[in-house]
Amino acid sequence: MKPVKAGLLGLGTVGGGVVNVLSRNGKEIARRAGREIEISHASARDLKKPRICETKGIQLTSNIMEVVNDPEIDIVVELIGGDTIAHEAVMKAISNGKHVVTANKALIAKYGNEIFSEAQKKGVMVAFEAAVAGGIPIIKAIREGLAGNSIEWLAGIINGTGNFILTEMRDKGRAFADVLAEAQRLGYAEADPTFDIEGVDAAHKLTILASIAFGIPLQFDKVFMEGITAITQEDVSYATELGYRIKHLGVSRRTDKGIELRVHPTLIPHRRLIANVDGVMNAVLVKGDAVGPTLYYGAGAGADPTASAVVADIVDVVRTLTTDPENRVPHLAFQPDALSDIPILPMDEVETAYYLRMSVADKPGVLAEVASILGGKGISIEAMIQKEPAKEGSNADLIMLTHKVIEKNMNEAISAIEALNSISGKVVRIRMERLDS
């Protein structure tokens, strides 16, 4: 049987990794796929740029559409990123009747509904395992391995840059800005790190995971996002003292009112396995009603880990080239006509526990004032630390952990606390998740 021909859009880190993995493990991959897989055509912006892979035998071009329109190509592998040219190329590939493999989380999160609809009409597959958590096969795990479960919730460390920063702040006592600069020097963060540190990248990935877990359309515009730029060394230290670690977490949970969809810094009990995922590593914790909590851990980026997921998708496509299009695994795990219109819960209606830090006047009655405001909103205190002032007459740090409360009530309580004469500046609020079964 003749080899299946694939065309790469992008021959950078991930594209080069794909070529290397296919070259290195070609025979083993062919045994699994049932046919050989050949990269016959690839596009790159700069054809003279040194590559991490051997390009002999690959037709190179700087014109993306030349690959997309190549009649010999069976599978288009989109690795250029972004959601403009990539969107155009993927839609054209589908129109040409070609299967698509992509590592582009922004593209899927923003345009996936449209892309999957067109792919369904054309009878082609769009595979996107590498779009979430790099080399961790989390999409396949939820879509197929946990297909017998009703997913109750999931929580993930799905951005390695943010996790590296918080790990360094905790382990080495470094300031946020200092660690961010190092992350940029090491290549973990872009020159403009906004997507990583403000939660946009994680929100793209959470959008995809939640859609697959709960059978809802992709709804990136409804994700609540809060970054890690306001996390201080003091917060990291106080969290550790209280038995917690701060992680930048993507959380989605099914409730009676709707689906929670949120990315924000989160205190997690230090004994939880996911709390001990450090550096640039990723992890996703999924709770199914039958299996209970399951944890998926691994490299969230890099040439070979991401290429591992891309090649696995190519193998899946090759395996199903002769399969009835109506009987393939659905793109979003549920059959297209069975997607649910369960609403996304507004952040104001989400219920969670909180870490609060405030700068208070060192005088009698302050704690009573704060406790009275919290009690008036139905908020009970689980634990508390009050630090001695650095010098006589200066303010003291007051740290509280609360039990679960509706976010709207906490917002109102914080506003009232900040209005007290005995409180200086803003109240620092970090949400808390137990992540138990």
Per-residue pLDDT of the chain (437 residues; tens, 9 = 90+): 789 999 999 999 999 999 999 999 999 999 998 899 999 999 999 999 999 999 999 999 999 999 999 999 999 999 999 999 999 999 999 999 999 999 999 999 999 999 999 999 999 999 999 999 999 999 999 999 999 999 999 999 999 999 999 999 999 999 999 999 999 999 898 889 999 999 999 999 999 999 999 999 999 999 999 999 999 999 999 999 999 999 999 999 999 999 999 999 999 999 999 999 999 999 999 999 999 999 999 999 889 999 999 999 999 999 888 666 666 677 776 778 878 889 999 999 999 999 999 999 988 899 999 999 999 999 999 999 988 887 777 899 999 999 999 999 999 999 999 999 999 999 999 999 999 85
Tokens 């992509």 belong to: 102
| CATH of span 348-432 | 3.30.70.260
Helix (H) or strand (E) holding 78: strand 75-78
Q: Residue 142 gets which letter from DSSP?
A: I
End-to-end C-alpha distance for the chain, whole angstroms? 49
- Please name the residue ranges forming H helices in 141-279: 160-172, 176-185, 194-197, 200-214, 233-241
CA–CA distance, 175 with 215 (Å, rounded to integer): 41
Q: Which two tokens stand for residue 191?
A: 């020159």
The domain segmentation of the chain, as residue ranges, is 4-135+303-338, 138-298, 348-432
Residue 197: other Cβ atoms inside 10 A: 21
- The secondary structure of residue 253, as a DSSP letter, is E
Question: What token pair was written down for 435?
Answer: 């992540």
* Residue 426 main-chain phi, psi, to 5 deg: -90, 150
What is the CATH code for 138-298? Answer: 3.30.360.10
The pLDDT of residue 325:
63
Which region holds residue 279: left if phi is over 0, alpha if psi is between -120 and 50, else beta?
left
For the question of residue 391 being annotated catalytic, the response is no
Strand, coil or helix: 167? helix
SS3 of residue 37 by DSSP: strand
**CATH says 4-135+303-338 is which class?**
alpha beta
Annotated catalytic residue, options 110, 205, 222, 247:
205
Joined tokens for residue 197: 């540190």
Contact in structure between 331 and 47 (CB atoms under 8 Å)? no
Sign of CA pseudo-dihedral 185, 189, 191, 194: negative
d(CA 38, CA 421): 70
Q: Give the position of tokens 């917690």.
A: 244
Q: What H or E segment, with its residue span, contains residue 65?
A: helix 64-68
pLDDT value at residue 322: 63
Taking CA atoms, 191 is separated from 44, 200, 344, in Å, by 22, 15, 33
The whole-model pTM stands at 0.93
Written as six digits, the tokens of 436 are 């138990």
